[in-house]
Amino acid sequence: MRDTFWDARREIRELRARMDQAFRLARQQQAAAAGQLAPPLDCHVGPEGFTLIFDVPGVDRASLNVKVEHGVLTVTGEKPAADDATTRVLRRERAYGTFRRTIPLPEDADPSQVTAKLQDGELRISIGRQAEAGPRRIEVVAE
């Protein structure tokens, strides 16, 4: 019975993850359709820590800003369009402008260990993981 219960819990968790993913994609597509810039993100976790990779092609390093505050990672930046009065746009599928993405970090992310690297239009942010804090035992004292 216990096994069945845990299986069901896992099922629900996986289902939830899939739904979250579906909603995220829908939001992303909506933003892209509106011509807004919303850099897509992959995030994975390993024993060393968390890695987040954003697609930011054509975004200048100087315009990028990465910040961790109150357990939330914020990435902002700007991708200016290259056209001016002398040019004529024949086709536009790329999105331009400013962007801002905020990602709540997991509890065991270590905000003092963050590095960010931009290469070939990919922004890679590495965040260390705090050592597993075991449950703290609080002694009951008699008054």
Partner 1 sequence: MTDHLDTILDLRHRLVRMLEAGGATPPSARETFTPPLDVVHAPGGLTITVELPGMAREEIDVELHGNMLTISGERKTRPCEGQQCLRRERRGGRFKRSLALPTSDHNELSAALKDGVLTIKVQRS
Residues contributing to the site for partner 1 (CB under 8 A)? 1, 4-5, 8, 11-12, 15, 18-19, 21-22, 24-26, 28, 40-46, 50-51, 53, 55-60, 82-83, 86-95, 106, 120-122
Q: Which residue, 88 or 136, is less far from partner 1 as judged by CB?
A: 88
The separation between the first and the last C-alpha atoms of the chain, rounded to the nearest angstrom, is 44
Q: Kind of pairing, strands 65-69 and 72-79?
A: antiparallel
Q: Which residue, 93 or 139, is less far from partner 1 as judged by CB?
A: 93
Q: Which residue, 67 or 94, is less far from partner 1 as judged by CB?
A: 94
Q: Closest separation between CB of residue 86 and partner 1, Å?
A: 6
Q: Rounded to whole angstroms, how far apart are CA atoms 16 and 117?
A: 32
Tokens standing for residue 20: 């979250």
Q: Closest separation between CB of residue 70 and partner 1, Å?
A: 19
Q: Rounded to whole angstroms, how far apart are CA atoms 78 and 76?
A: 7
Torsion, Cα 73 44 4 12, to 10 degrees, reads 50
Q: Which residue, 90 or 140, is less far from partner 1 as judged by CB?
A: 90
Q: Closest separation between CB of residue 135 and partner 1, Å?
A: 23
Q: Closest separation between CB of residue 102 and partner 1, Å?
A: 13
Q: Residue 37 in contact with residue 99, Cβ under 8 Å?
A: yes
